[in-house]
Amino acid sequence: MKLRMVLAAALVFCTLAPMAMAQVGGPFDHLKCYRITFKKGALAVDGHALDSLVLTPFQVPPFKIEEGCRLQPAKKPRPIMFCVPVDKQPRQNPTGTKLQNDYLVYQIRCPSEPDLQQGVKDQFVRGIADIHRKPTTRLLLVPAYKIDTPPPPCEPTAPHICGGTCPNSGDECRPGPTDICGCFPPSQPCGLVPGTNQCSGDCPSAGEICRTFTDPAGGVACDCVAG
């Protein structure tokens, strides 16, 4: 309950910007939020993330302008949740503002303020909420938009099977000679190297190697055999 009410209060700090996305149903006046993490090297932090923020509520009073708020963690701010607009069924009043943006949720630290009580009602509950403002930790929802997600790198997708993309467009993502996924030049089937009596190439089954042998006619041939 506490998290829901803080999220609802944080919404007044967010401005809306249109985003062209396919829509089904409506009104999209709810937010569904997911916890998120970032792998190493997957997050670029803009210098603005370190700025001291001034947050001006839509309603003054009972809330007031807060100065000196900062995203957390202080040296490496990062969002903790990703929220998307949703239409809730069954619908029930009161309805809210139509939402079009996604949002990223940050923990922020602001100056301590006296606690207050506020009557509040939504589609599920009605009551007098104790709003805890002495603790300095808050949540801030920031409008966001989707960008292209890079395809996954070359990696195992099943036993002896690889999938993903390679840095060089001409390479193939496939198991190597030791059955480890990697990016290799386009595969060549096991066969004689032109102008030599040597065999080279790839075998269809993991664990096999391309070897030279003498055929019944005395010629040189190639075949895939267990390594």
Within a domain: 66 = yes
User: Which range has the worst mean pLDDT, 14-18, 130-134, 147-151, 218-222?
Assistant: 14-18
User: Which range has the worst mean pLDDT, 18-22, 25-29, 62-66, 191-195?
Assistant: 18-22
Domain span at residue 28?
Answer: 2-144
User: Is the same domain home to 184 and 116?
Assistant: no
Cβ neighbour number for residue 92 with a 10 Å cutoff? 10
- Number of structural domains in the chain: 2
Long-range contacts of 49-55 (CB under 8 A, 24+ apart): 49/77, 50/77, 53/108, 53/140, 55/13, 55/110, 55/140
Q: Which of 144, 173, 189 is the last residue of a domain?
A: 144
pLDDT at 113: 92
pLDDT category of residue 97 using cuts at 50, 70 and 90? confident
In single-letter form, the type of residue at position 181 comes to: C
pTM (two decimals): 0.60
Within a domain: 100 = yes
Give the chain's mean pLDDT: 84
Quick one: what percent of the chain has pLDDT higher than 90? Answer: 43
User: Is the same domain home to 140 and 187?
Assistant: no
User: Is the same domain home to 29 and 91?
Assistant: yes
Give dist(CA 87, CA 11) in Å, integer.
17
Give the pLDDT mean for 73-80.
94
Q: Which of 144, 164, 182 is the last residue of a domain?
A: 144
User: Is the same domain home to 139 and 218?
Assistant: no
Within a domain: 150 = no
User: Is the same domain home to 111 and 186?
Assistant: no
- Phi-psi region at 5: left, alpha or beta (left = phi > 0; alpha = psi -120 to 50): alpha
pLDDT at 57: 93
Within a domain: 149 = no
pLDDT, tens digit, 9 for 90 and up, residues 118-140: 999 998 999 999 999 999 999 99
User: Which range has the worst mean pLDDT, 109-113, 118-122, 223-227?
Assistant: 223-227
pLDDT, tens digit, 9 for 90 and up, residues 2-15: 444 444 444 433 43
User: Is the same domain home to 70 and 116?
Assistant: yes
User: Is the same domain home to 35 and 95?
Assistant: yes
User: Is the same domain home to 196 and 98?
Assistant: no
Q: Which of 144, 177, 201 is the last residue of a domain?
A: 144
Long-range contacts of 52-55 (CB under 8 A, 24+ apart): 53/108, 53/140, 55/13, 55/110, 55/140
pLDDT at 1: 43
User: Is the same domain home to 103 and 175?
Assistant: no
User: Is the same domain home to 171 and 109?
Assistant: no
pLDDT higher than 50, residue 212:
yes
